[in-house]
Amino acid sequence: MMRRLSPVNGSVVSPNVVAAVSSVLQRQQRHQSDAPLRRLLYENDSFLSGTSARYIESMYENWKADKSSVNESWNEVFSSRDLQSFERPLLTSPIRVVPASAEDKMEVAQSQDICARLTLMIQAFEDYGHLAARTDPLDAEDDSLHRSPQVKPRERVHLGLESFGFSKEDHDRVVRVGFMDQLGGAMSSSSRAMTIKELHDHLTKCFCGRVGCELGHVDDANVVRFVREVVEGYNTEHNPLRRPLSKEEKLWVWDLVASAVHFEDFFKRKYTTQKRFGCDGAESLIVGLRSLMESASDHGVEKVNFGMAHRGRLNTLYNVIGKSFPVILKEFVGITAPELEPFKVQSDVKYHLGAKSTVKMRNGKLMFTELLANPSHLEAVNPVLQGYTRAAQLKHGDAGQSKVLPVEIHGDAAFAGQGVTFETMCISEVPKFTTGGTIHVVVNNQIGFTTDPRCSRSSPYCSDLGRAFQCPIFHVNGDCPEDVARVFAFAVDLRSRFNKSVVIDLVCYRRYGHNENDDPTITQPLLYKRVHATPDVFARYSEKLVEEGVVTKEQQTAKAKEQKDHYGKYQSEVGNIRYSDYLKSGIPELWRGMKYSDELGEVTLEPTAVARESLQPVIDSLKKVPEGFVVNSKLKAVLEQRVQSLEKGEKIDWGAAEALAFGSLLLEGTHVRVMGQDVERGTFSHRHAVLHDQNKVDTYTPLAHIRKDQAPFIITNSPLNEYGVLGYASGYAIYDPNALVLWEAQFGDFANGAAIIFDQFLSSGETKWNQQQAVVVSLPHGFDGRGAEHSSGRIERFLQAVAEDVDTPAYSPEERAHRVNMEVVFPSTPAQYFHLLRRHVRRNFRKPLMLFFSKQFLRTPNESSMEQITSGGFQPVIGDPSVPPEKARRLVMCTGQIYHILNRYRESNNCGRDVALVRIEELSPFPVAEVQKLLADYSGVELMWAQEEPRNQGAFYHVESRVEYYTGGARELRYAGRAISAAPSTAYKSTHDAEERYICECVFS
């Protein structure tokens, strides 16, 4: 919270007791923090005012003489070690006043009033100096009184010497500010003597220049000290934030600025009507990202993964990632459908596409770079990038976090406004999700489309979300490319030292409208008067270098011409680009063995059944726990029963079949990662993959200890969000085709919180970006009277997103799966589940899988035998051998748990012996051949579809249109299920039971 500084009372006040009391009370409130606390005196911290401080000091003296003389609530404060440590001679007080010259031999009396004021001043600059920093390249604060919420706290901050009670007579007074080394910065004991005016000037230079720093919210003492040393350090030559750049470095920065500015200029002149969402006004972003990569290389990083939205993306693709400029030009000229052949994809707009390359660094090393494809849904790529990076880091073992660096590039309005940003940062430091720190770059062009900052956020800065996650925050003027280069490089240094995320607020502007054809003067006329009067960063930086004698005016003119010629020369090469070859070259190395849409019909499926002896090591692992490990007594009986069923080969339930599937894949070298809110135990207490010792804080994961040479098994509970964690799982699966990545919702109903990931990445990622992935989305689904929020995973919505028409030919099971965009499956038995999981990664292509499962039938009577697991495979359609065609009067098709409900009703009521119950286990791709054969076999009977869901939900419409097509409209598909409804289900058990009974009666009537 921002609070105005209170002027210090002029009387002499002992700072020792006051500071100690402040420290103790703060530590009571923030006991988790181990950082040295150096807070300011605030107007509403009444116990810190001059009058109250004397009162406290008097109370402290009384307490020392007689503890009962003061209220007992002060005992803990006054007996604190912190307070006792302040009982020391004045020579060790935080700030000492020393003689002005060696000749002056008079001992200078300690001025405790001066000490308090100087302490206040240093703390004020640390906490509020960033508000006075000159970070706005437009210098538009006068125009911003009604635009930015940042203005109000800035107006309340006064950092002049007079604000701390210093008169002009005090300016030349010499002080030594050293206190203790662990604080770092200006209060380090190594600090030199200087006048009060010199100290003030130094602090102004450190905190109120073109770089602002926010650190007061960070609790990590080591991070705080390190940053203080850099920001407040006196040694300019070696200070990473203020060191002068060499001539060679300045020319390198100049080249990058020239390239970035003229990249945008080229497309502005040549393709005036096309949207490119350029970074005009923010071109120093390119300098920062390249500086970041150079620093990362020096720290041993081998790959940098970037995620960003469309603003400045094309410039980044060329000048940072290294994408071919002729290919970018080809995307501007236009790509026709035949040019995508033989790939069966639609592609995407040019500013959504990703790219990867290898860039040579100035130190001679190679850096692998990649910018992930993303949609226009702002910030959606953030969790995807985190999962993608975590999977890449796993390949490097323990050194992974030091080898692969994630960088997220945000917009100011989006970083503050989009909830997925919070979700992703919430994930970022959770142990089995962390990537070792992310560099967050907020491209702050001080506007969101047409929306002013005051309407974009409630906090002063667009970067304030970083405060919630203890990230050091740096604000830097985007028109000062040298400062930008230093800040970005220092952020990498911080991340490398402390595995800490860092936020950079790159304050810049947007030269044109939201897109290049938009007129921003309609809504921001005053702002854009300044923008139009501001030279571009190349002109500004060139002028600076000319003044310094680094370049001449003639060289500036020549550089501009050189850049224009450079970009113009590629236009003749566009006709030589074969875009399908470019798509082929973009397939990652790990994915080269997979079949893409250019090789339809060339897919294979390996057997999913596993020999009984091969499963024995998995079963054995489920029996063992470490010596002395105490399992919950109730759970122990459940686990023993599970092992017995596996050993006997009968009554294998859902959790046991899953363990066999996971374990068999692990032994075959397939990495398995399972994540979700309660996946370790399972929401419905069916999994128990992680065991908890009942006597000590310890866990054991049996499937992680099958055999030493197995693949990694990682199962972890996640933060309580869907969008972020599913995005993370998606990114993980995009990186590694040889991993089974499963995200499980707590209830299927809650999955719609991740709708953007479903729509933009899972269902359409391959056709837009030629990007396969094999994430498994596990959704508990089924009606049991628990109400509208705990019944439905919304099968109908996923089926609507399936790109498969009713007239799709009867391809082989492998080819139809290869052609569809994603699979939607509702297996009804544990054996089906076993084969489905294994099938998912035992074929030479990958698809997202929407896997629905019943909450009711995770245990008896829904059980399978070992024979069903060690033989056969997944069956898209399961017939009803008890009612062959010649005995049937009605064929009822259904999917999921409704089968078990109908079958139970049939058995308990001894009815419906002429009604065949057939399960459609796989809804996408639709089992065309199997259903056509089914309809032919039951040619003379009535057809019906049964489901639990309301008529306008579930799979009815999906199946009905296909049956109508297959039968030429000659046979009607009757419906048995709930009536059309806005909400999925009732919340009353009695109503639910009546509805379920009605469905059963309709089926068997």
Q: What local confidence, expressed as pLDDT, does residue 914 receive?
A: 96
**The domain boundary residue, chosen from 870, 903, 937:** 870
Q: What percent of the chain has pLDDT over 70?
A: 89
167 located within any domain? yes
20 pLDDT above the threshold of 80: no
Residue 149 pLDDT grade (very low, low, confident, very high; cuts 50, 70, 90): confident
191 pLDDT above the threshold of 80: no
Q: Are 825 and 921 contacting, i.e. CB atoms less than 8 angstroms apart?
A: yes
237 located within any domain? no
CATH of the domain at 350: 3.40.50.970
Report, as an integer, the average pLDDT of 93-106.
44
651 located within any domain? yes
Q: Is 717 exposed, middle or buried (0-12, 13-18, 19+ CB in 10 A)?
A: middle
Instruction: Please indicate, yes or no, whether residues 850 and 956 belong to a single structural domain of this protein.
Output: no
Instruction: Please indicate, yes or no, whether residues 842 and 910 belong to a single structural domain of this protein.
Output: no
111 located within any domain? yes
**CA-based nearest residue to 352, from 253, 286, 285, 275:** 275
Instruction: Please indicate, yes or no, whether residues 398 and 473 belong to a single structural domain of this protein.
Output: yes
Enumerate the H helices of 347-399 as residue ranges.
381-394
Q: What local confidence, expressed as pLDDT, does residue 111 receive?
A: 54
Residue 218 pLDDT grade (very low, low, confident, very high; cuts 50, 70, 90): very high
Q: What local confidence, expressed as pLDDT, does residue 108 receive?
A: 41
807 located within any domain? no
The rounded distance, in Å, linking the Cα atoms of 280 and 516 is 10
Count of CB atoms situated within 10 Å of the CB of 989: 12
Instruction: Please indicate, yes or no, whether residues 281 and 209 belong to a single structural domain of this protein.
Output: no
Count of CB atoms situated within 10 Å of the CB of 669: 10
Q: What local confidence, expressed as pLDDT, does residue 90 receive?
A: 29
HSE, side-chain direction, 13 A CA sphere, residue 220: 15
Instruction: Please indicate, yes or no, whether residues 508 and 656 belong to a single structural domain of this protein.
Output: no
Q: What local confidence, expressed as pLDDT, does residue 47 receive?
A: 40
Residue of higher predicted confidence among 76 and 618: 618
735 located within any domain? yes
59-63, 151-155, 394-398: which has the minimum mean pLDDT? 151-155
Q: What local confidence, expressed as pLDDT, does residue 87 receive?
A: 45
**Beta strands 915-920; 877-878: pairing state:** antiparallel
Buried b (16+ CB within 10 A) or exposed e, 933-950: ebbeebeebebbbbbbbb
41 pLDDT above the threshold of 90: no
Q: What local confidence, expressed as pLDDT, does residue 14 receive?
A: 44
Model confidence over 709-764: pLDDT tens digits? 999 999 999 999 999 999 999 999 999 999 999 999 999 999 999 999 999 999 99
**The domain boundary residue, chosen from 176, 200, 232:** 232
Residue 588 pLDDT grade (very low, low, confident, very high; cuts 50, 70, 90): very high
Instruction: Please indicate, yes or no, whether residues 745 and 659 belong to a single structural domain of this protein.
Output: yes
Please give the distance of CA 561 from its chain centroid, rounded to a whole number.
Answer: 42
Instruction: Please indicate, yes or no, whether residues 851 and 891 belong to a single structural domain of this protein.
Output: no
11 pLDDT above the threshold of 50: no
Residue numbers of the domain that contains 974? 877-1004
Distances (CA, A) of 848 to 87, 588, 778: 66, 18, 11
Residue of higher predicted confidence among 907 and 146: 907
Model confidence over 422-439: pLDDT tens digits? 999 999 899 999 999 999
Enumerate the H helices of 770-883 as residue ranges.
795-800, 813-819, 830-841, 866-870
Q: What local confidence, expressed as pLDDT, does residue 517 receive?
A: 86
Residue of higher predicted confidence among 144 and 236: 236
Instruction: Tell me how many degrees the CA angle 334-338-341 measures, rounded to the nearest 5.
Output: 115
Instruction: Please indicate, yes or no, whether residues 580 and 676 belong to a single structural domain of this protein.
Output: no
Q: What local confidence, expressed as pLDDT, does residue 72 receive?
A: 75
pTM for the structure as a whole? 0.89
Single-letter code of the amino acid located at 533: A
Distances (CA, A) of 336 to 317, 579, 803: 22, 10, 21
Counting the structural domains of the chain, the total is 4
Instruction: Please indicate, yes or no, whether residues 213 and 255 belong to a single structural domain of this protein.
Output: no
788 located within any domain? no
The rounded distance, in Å, linking the Cα atoms of 826 and 896 is 5
> Strands of 193-195's sheet, edge to edge?
96-97, 174-176, 193-195
Q: Are 668 and 737 contacting, i.e. CB atoms less than 8 angstroms apart?
A: no
Q: What local confidence, expressed as pLDDT, does residue 61 receive?
A: 75
15 pLDDT above the threshold of 80: no
22-31, 145-154, 539-548: which has the minimum mean pLDDT? 22-31
Report, as an integer, the average pLDDT of 581-609.
94
Residue of higher predicted confidence among 575 and 301: 301
CATH of the domain at 833: 3.40.50.12470
225 located within any domain? yes
316 pLDDT above the threshold of 60: yes
Q: Are 691 and 624 contacting, i.e. CB atoms less than 8 angstroms apart?
A: no
Instruction: Please indicate, yes or no, whether residues 904 and 850 belong to a single structural domain of this protein.
Output: no
Computed over every residue of the chain, the mean pLDDT equals: 89
Instruction: Please indicate, yes or no, whether residues 347 and 310 belong to a single structural domain of this protein.
Output: yes
Residue 2 pLDDT grade (very low, low, confident, very high; cuts 50, 70, 90): very low
Residue 27 pLDDT grade (very low, low, confident, very high; cuts 50, 70, 90): low
Residue 55 pLDDT grade (very low, low, confident, very high; cuts 50, 70, 90): low
**Most distant CA atoms of the chain, gap in Å:** 119
**The domain boundary residue, chosen from 836, 870, 904:** 870
The rounded distance, in Å, linking the Cα atoms of 977 and 752 is 23
Instruction: Please indicate, yes or no, whether residues 859 and 901 belong to a single structural domain of this protein.
Output: no
The rounded distance, in Å, linking the Cα atoms of 680 and 702 is 12
142 pLDDT above the threshold of 60: no
Model confidence over 340-376: pLDDT tens digits? 999 999 999 999 999 999 999 999 999 999 999 999 9
Strand partners, 474: 213, 504
**Beta strands 174-176; 96-97: pairing state:** antiparallel
